[in-house]
């Protein structure tokens, strides 16, 4: 892997057995993500997006192939090793936010540090909240925040462990267009700081604003012209 490659997949496959049938959820996927790159992945339902997200999030392991994250081939890692990779290299953002409603914004951002048994550095937490544009809202309970602000807090929480790679699963699915564009601008600012962003989305307008789009269909990466999303 090159010095600035954060993630690299080679011939990545994930097969499931369903009765007597073999389901090829991913069927030989090759791509790499460089430091500071924003990459969107699009594809119809059943294309393999969720499977791929689970693999690069170290939530599942491939049937075969190579998956390098942070210079290590994680393909055969044990669960404890995968957890360590997740905590060290990866931040997660979800469509549903997954905030704890009654906790203050600042307390939601603290949670990954608590789970990782890291010291609570209040200055660092406040700086991350400022980075996502929520200075002054630190002590507002999550349930009182707007959808866009909830997603910003979710991004701050994802950033607190200083990940190299931010994985965003439908991050703007519940947000209006103006807020979506603000979040995309935030992703651009983070990419300038060297954080790579990998976005899975059904929103082709959002994908078009990423630095690069990967089109997935039937478990394979295909050229845009062959994607059923554009026909």
Give the H/E segment covering residue 34: strand 21-34
Tens digit of each residue's pLDDT (9 = 90 or more) over 16-45: 999 999 999 999 999 999 999 999 999 998
Residue 159 contacts residue 130 (beta carbons within 8 Å): no
CA 92 vs. chain centroid, Å, equals 5
- Sheet-wide strand order for 64-69: 21-34, 5-18, 64-69, 72-73
Domains with residue ranges and CATH for the chain: 36-62+80-230 (3.40.50.300)
Burial pattern 106-131, b for ≥16 Cβ within 10 A else e, equals: bbbbbebbeeeeeeeeeeebeebbeb
Q: Which residues pair with 39 in a beta bridge?
A: 198, 212
**How far from 97 is each of 85, 86, 113, 146, 150, CA to CA, in Å?**
22, 18, 18, 11, 7
The per-residue pLDDT for range 33-87, each reduced to its tens digit, is 999 999 999 999 889 998 999 999 998 899 999 999 988 999 989 999 998 898 8
| Predicted pLDDT at 171 | 82
In degrees and rounded to multiples of 5, residue 137 shows phi and psi of -115, 15
pTM beyond cutoff 0.95: no
């Amino acid at each position: 892997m090159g010095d600035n490659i954060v993630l690299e997949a080679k011939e990545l496959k994930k097969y499931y057995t369903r009765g007597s049938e073999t389901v090829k959820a991913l069927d030989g996927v090759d791509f790499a993500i460089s430091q500071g790159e924003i990459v969107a992945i699009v594809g119809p339902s059943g294309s393999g997006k969720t499977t791929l997200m689970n693999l690069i999030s170290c939530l599942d392991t491939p049937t075969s192939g190579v998956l390098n994250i942070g210079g290590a081939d994680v393909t055969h890692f044990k669960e404890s090793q995968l957890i360590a990779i997740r905590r060290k290299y990866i931040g997660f953002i979800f469509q549903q936010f997954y905030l704890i409603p009654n906790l203050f914004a600042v307390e939601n951002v603290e949670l990954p540090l608590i789970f990782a048994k890291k010291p609570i550095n209040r200055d660092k937490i406040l700086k991350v909240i400022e980075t996502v544009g929520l200075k002054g809202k630190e002590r507002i309970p999550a349930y009182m925040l707007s959808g866009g602000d909830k997603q910003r807090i979710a991004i701050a929480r994802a950033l607190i462990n200083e990940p190299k790679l931010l994985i965003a699963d439908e991050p703007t699915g519940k947000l209006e267009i103006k807020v979506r564009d603000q979040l995309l601008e935030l992703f651009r600012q983070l990419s300038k700081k060297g954080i790579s962003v990998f976005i899975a989305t059904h929103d082709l307008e959002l994908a078009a604003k990423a630095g690069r789009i990967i089109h997935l269909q039937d478990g394979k990466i295909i050229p845009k012209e062959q994607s059923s999303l554009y026909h």
